[in-house]
Amino acid sequence: MPSYLKMSADQLGRLKEQLENEYALARSAGLKLNMTRGKPCAQQLDLSNGLMTALSAQDYLADDGTDCRNYGGLDGIREARQLFADLLDTRPEHVMVAGNSSLNLMYDMMVRAMLFTLPGGVRPWGQEEKVRFICPVPGYDRHFFVTQTLGIEMVPVPMTPEGPDMDQVEALAANDPSIKGIWTVPVYSNPEGITYSTDTCRRLAGMKTAAPDFRIFWDNAYVVHHLYPDHQESVPDMIALCADSGNPDRVFEFASTSKITFSGAGIACIAASEANLQFIRMQMGIQTIGPDKMSQLRHVRFLKDRDGVERIMKQHADILRPKFECALDLLDEQLGDTGVCSYNRPKGGYFISLSVLPGTAAKVVSLAKEAGLELTPAGNPFPYGQDPMDTNIRLAPSFPTLEELKNATNLLILCIRLAAVAKLLAA
Ligand code: PLP
C-alpha cells in the first residue's frame, strides 16, 4: 500500500470515494463491537474457577493460626504478603494486602496524603496552595481521574521507549516544591506496553526533589503479565532502590490479582517502607477492622506461590497472544506503508497504543462509533482527556472473541484510513 502522504489530490480523492463506499457498507452491517476496557475475557476468568473450591468448609486458618473468618489482621495474612512480595521482588514486611482493587488503594493513598502529613512532609498536601503531579503520557486514564477529582494539577511529561522523559521529570521535581509526585506503570505500561529501563528507575529513586514529601506511585499492575514466555521484562525492586538511594520513603507500590484471577474478586496490595506503612495503618485502622482474609487465603491456596502464578499467567498469555497478534497483523497488512498510523508491539500488558495521523483520533473514534464499534474515547490516556495532538487511540484486545476482534480491527482500520484521507485532502 503506497504512502498516503505522497499521493496527489486526485489519487486521494479517488481513494476517499472508495473508502466512503466501504464505510457505508460497514455501517449498514449493524455491527456491535467493543474494544474499550482492558477486561479479561470469560475464557481467562475460567482459568481461576478453582478459586471457588480452593477452600473446604474446615479451611479457614492461616499459617499462624489466624482465623480468617474473623475481624482483624489489618496488614493481611502472612502468606498473602509473602506471595505479593515474591511477585514484586520485595520483602513481605513491606507489603500490606487488602481487598480486590489496587485502584482503590491508590485513591485512598492520594486522599490520605491530601488530608494528613506524610512521613518527611511539613503539612498535608491539601493545605498547600497548589499541588501538582507529574503524569507520563499517554498513561492510565483512571490515574488521571483520581488526581483530577482531588484538584491536583496534572503536568504531562512524554513517554520515551525507556519510560518517562527523565530530563523533564528531574527538572520539574528538583525546581518546583508544589510537584508532589508522579504516576508510573513501570512494567508494560498502560497503554504503550513500555517497561522502564534500569537507568530510569535509578534516576527516579535518586533524583533531587524540591518537595520533601515527594512520592512515586509505582503501579505495578502488569508485573507478571508477559505475552511471550521467553521475553519477560522486569524492573528492579523500587522499594530497595529508593532505600539504597537515600530516599526510603519515596515510593508507594501497588499491584493486584485483577488480571491473574478474577478482576472483580481478587486481592490487591500496597508496598512501602515501614514509616510509610505506619502512616497508612494509622488511618486504615480507622477505615476498617481488617480486610477480607478468606479471599486472601483462597488466593494463596489456589495460586500457591510465584511458580503457580507463572503457570496461570502462561495460560493467560496463550489466550491473549493470538488476539494481540491478530490485531497487529491486520494493522501491518492494511496500514503498513500508508504513513498515517504507527503503533507499538507490546510484549506484555493489556493494550496496543496507536498513533494515527495528528488531528484525526477523535474523528476515527466517532466514525467507529457510528458504525457500531466502541473505542476508548480519544484523549482519555491524557490528563483532562486532552490529547494535544489528537493522535492517540488505545486498543484493548482482551475481551472480544478472535472473530469479533478481527471485525473490529478491520472496521477501525477503515476509519483510520478514511479520517486520514479526509484530513490530507482538507490540508
Ligand atoms: N492500574 C493499571 C495500570 C491498570 O491498567 C488497571 C486496570 O486496567 C488497574 C490499575 C486496575 O487495577 P485493580 O483492578 O487492581 O483496581
Contacts with 132 (C-beta within 8 Å, 6 or more apart), sequence order: 152, 153, 154, 155, 176, 178, 179, 180
- Give the nearest ligand 1 atom to 222 CA: 3
Q: Which residue, by CA, sits nearest to atom 2 of ligand 1?
A: 221
Task: Indicate if ligand 1 lies below 6 Å from the C-beta of 221.
Answer: yes
- Give the nearest ligand 1 atom to 350 CA: 5
Task: Indicate if ligand 1 lies below 6 Å from the C-beta of 36.
Answer: no
Question: E strands within 275-347?
Answer: 341-343
Task: Indicate if ligand 1 lies below 6 Å from the C-beta of 380.
Answer: no
Task: Indicate if ligand 1 lies below 6 Å from the C-beta of 105.
Answer: no
CA of 28 to the centre of ligand 1 (A): 36
* pLDDT tens digits for range 360-377: 999 999 999 999 999 999
Counting every residue written for the chain, the total comes to 427
CA of 179 to the centre of ligand 1 (A): 24
Three-state DSSP state, 319: helix
Task: Indicate if ligand 1 lies below 6 Å from the C-beta of 106.
Answer: no
- Give the nearest ligand 1 atom to 140 CA: 3
CA of 305 to the centre of ligand 1 (A): 22
* pLDDT tens digits for range 331-352: 999 998 999 999 999 999 999 9
CA of 221 to the centre of ligand 1 (A): 6
Task: Indicate if ligand 1 lies below 6 Å from the C-beta of 102.
Answer: yes
- Give the nearest ligand 1 atom to 255 CA: 15
Which grid cell is 198? 534500569
Task: Indicate if ligand 1 lies below 6 Å from the C-beta of 197.
Answer: no
341-343, strands of its sheet edge to edge = 341-343, 352-356, 392-395
CA 351 – CA 281 distance, rounded (Å): 34
Task: Indicate if ligand 1 lies below 6 Å from the C-beta of 220.
Answer: no
Ligand 1 probe mutation, 36, 39, 145, 219, most atoms within 8 A of CB: 219
Q: Between the CA of residue 399 and those of 124, 193, 200, 331, 396, what are the distances in Å? A: 41, 17, 32, 18, 7
Output the DSSP codes for 203-253. Answer: HHHH---SSTT-EEEEE-TTTT-BSBTTB------HHHHHHHTT-TTSEEE
More confident residue, 229 or 27: 27
- Give the nearest ligand 1 atom to 259 CA: 14
Contacts with 193 (C-beta within 8 Å, 6 or more apart), sequence order: 344, 345, 346, 347, 348, 349, 351, 352, 353
pLDDT(246) > 90? yes
- Give the nearest ligand 1 atom to 100 CA: 15
What is the pLDDT, as a whole number, of residue 1?
67
* pLDDT tens digits for range 87-104: 999 999 999 999 999 999
* Residue type for position 392: N
Task: Indicate if ligand 1 lies below 6 Å from the C-beta of 103.
Answer: yes
Which grid cell is 77? 495474612
Ligand 1 probe mutation, 137, 145, 190, 220, most atoms within 8 A of CB: 190
* pLDDT tens digits for range 263-284: 999 999 999 999 999 999 999 9
Cβ neighbours around 204 below 10 Å, total: 27
Q: Taking a C-beta distance cutoff of 8 angstroms, is the pair 371, 23 a contact?
A: yes
For residue 228, the Cα-to-chain-centroid distance in whole angstroms is: 18
CA of 102 to the centre of ligand 1 (A): 7
CA 267 – CA 411 distance, rounded (Å): 37
Q: Taking a C-beta distance cutoff of 8 angstroms, is the pair 273, 88 a contact?
A: no
Q: Which residue, by CA, sits nearest to atom 7 of ligand 1?
A: 38
What is the pLDDT, as a whole number, of residue 7?
95
Q: What is the mean pLDDT of residues 195-205?
A: 98
* pLDDT tens digits for range 249-266: 999 999 999 999 999 999
CA 400 – CA 397 distance, rounded (Å): 7
For residue 113, the Cα-to-chain-centroid distance in whole angstroms is: 22
CA of 259 to the centre of ligand 1 (A): 9
CA of 262 to the centre of ligand 1 (A): 12
What is the pLDDT, as a whole number, of residue 229?
84
* pLDDT tens digits for range 4-54: 999 999 999 999 999 999 999 999 998 899 888 789 999 999 999 999 999
